[in-house]
Homo-oligomer: A and B are copies of this chain.
Amino acid sequence: MKVKEVADLVGISVRTLHHYDEIGLLTPEEITDAGYRLYSDENLEVLQQILFLKELGFPLKQIKTMLDSPDYDRNEALAMQRRMLLDKRAQLDQMIATLDKTILHNRGEIEMTNKEKFQGFNFSSHNPYEQEARERWGDKKVDESNAKWAGMSEKEQQDLGAAMNAIYFKLAALRHGSPESPEAQEAIKEWYEFLNRMGSYSLEAFSGLGQMYVDDERFTKNIDQFGEGLAVFMRDAMAYYAAYNN
């Protein structure tokens, strides 16, 4: 398929396809003698992945990094994308609810706090683990973490969300190997460093958090969406990392 055919089929521009080729994100299967790009069905399947991830706010560089990874599993990616699309739909639902309340507010039928007026504009939805986190680490650490989150722009929040997912991806791809392998330890180190951008975790607290991933089935359920058994794998990797990095 030539560029215009692909562009029309998908609903993007020819320039977009050129750009994706230029940055190495989507390289046509074949180039004719005249230099024309020919796209294969496989190219289209990759393009579909790109558009899903793009819709979810991932920057193209990060999409390329994901797709180029030898550990990238398309079916696991689809499962993750599905969850994120559901999250995004839930965010839209919340925005619609906020809009409905705003209409009633404008009619004088209800009062809205300023906070209520902006429900749904970012993913700062209630963290269901916050109560447990407070019990385990105290109010100060949670408030500190929340303050950091709240002090970020939407872009920063999205980037963090995407970075977090990228780490989950990487760990999921490694989970069939040993949690003590250099690759696994490298990836879990990224997780440790990532967490320390939000709060401040000692190695001991890090290991304890890993145990929580398994003890608390809500954590387990969320994490295992990225790959069955990932929560256990992460716990073991985190315990090993904590033991051997002090």
Interface residues of A (CB under 8 A from B): 4, 7-13, 15-16, 41, 44-45, 48, 51-52, 55, 74-75, 78-79, 81-82, 85-86, 88-89, 92-93, 95-96, 99-100, 102-103, 106, 114-115, 117-118, 121-122, 124, 150-157
CB-based nearest B residue for A82 = B99
A96 to B81, CA, bound (A): 9
Contacts of A93 in B (CB 8 A): 89
**CB of A103, distance to nearest CB on chain B (Å):** 5
Contacts of A115 in B (CB 8 A): 9
Contacts of A117 in B (CB 8 A): 44-45, 48
Q: Is the CB of A124 within 8 A of B89?
A: no
Q: Is the CB of A11 within 8 A of B122?
A: yes
Q: Is the CB of A88 within 8 A of B82?
A: no
**CB of A241, distance to nearest CB on chain B (Å):** 32
Contacts of A88 in B (CB 8 A): 92
A48 to B103, CA, bound (A): 12
Given contacts A82-B100, A88-B92, contact A11 B124 (CB under 8 A): yes
Contacts of A7 in B (CB 8 A): 151, 153
A75 to B106, CA, bound (A): 8
Given contacts A106-B75, A106-B78, A118-B51, contact A153 B85 (CB under 8 A): no
**CB of A101, distance to nearest CB on chain B (Å):** 11
Contacts of A75 in B (CB 8 A): 103, 106
**CB of A124, distance to nearest CB on chain B (Å):** 6
CB-based nearest B residue for A85 = B96
Contacts of A114 in B (CB 8 A): 9, 41, 44
CB-based nearest B residue for A157 = B11
